[in-house]
A = this chain, B = another copy of it.
Amino acid sequence: MSLAQEEARVREANQRFYQAVENLSLDDLEAVWLPSPACRCVHPGWPPVEGWEAIRESWSRIFESTNDLEIVLDQVTVHIEGAVAWLNCLARVSSAAESRIDTALLCSSNLFILHDGEWRLVLHHASQLPDPMDSPQTDLIQ
Residues on A facing B (Cβ under 8 Å): 38, 40, 42, 44-48, 50, 75, 77, 79, 81-84, 86, 88, 90, 107, 109, 111, 113, 122-123, 125, 127-130
Contact = CB atoms under 8 A, between A and B. Distances in A.
Given A107-B47, A109-B109, A79 B127 contact: no
A103 to B, nearest CB: 16
B88 A48 contact: yes
A-B complex: 7 closest residue pairs judged by Cβ atoms: A127-B127, A82-B82, A84-B84, A109-B125, A81-B84, A125-B125, A40-B88
The complex is assembled from copies of this chain, and their number is 2
A47 B125 CA distance: 14
A81 B81 CA distance: 10
Contacts of A48: 75, 88, 90, 107
Contacts of A128: 45, 127
A46 B84 CA distance: 26
B111 A86 contact: yes
Contact of A42 (B79, B82, B109): B109
A40 B81 contact: no
Contacts of A84: 81-82, 84
A38 B81 CA distance: 12
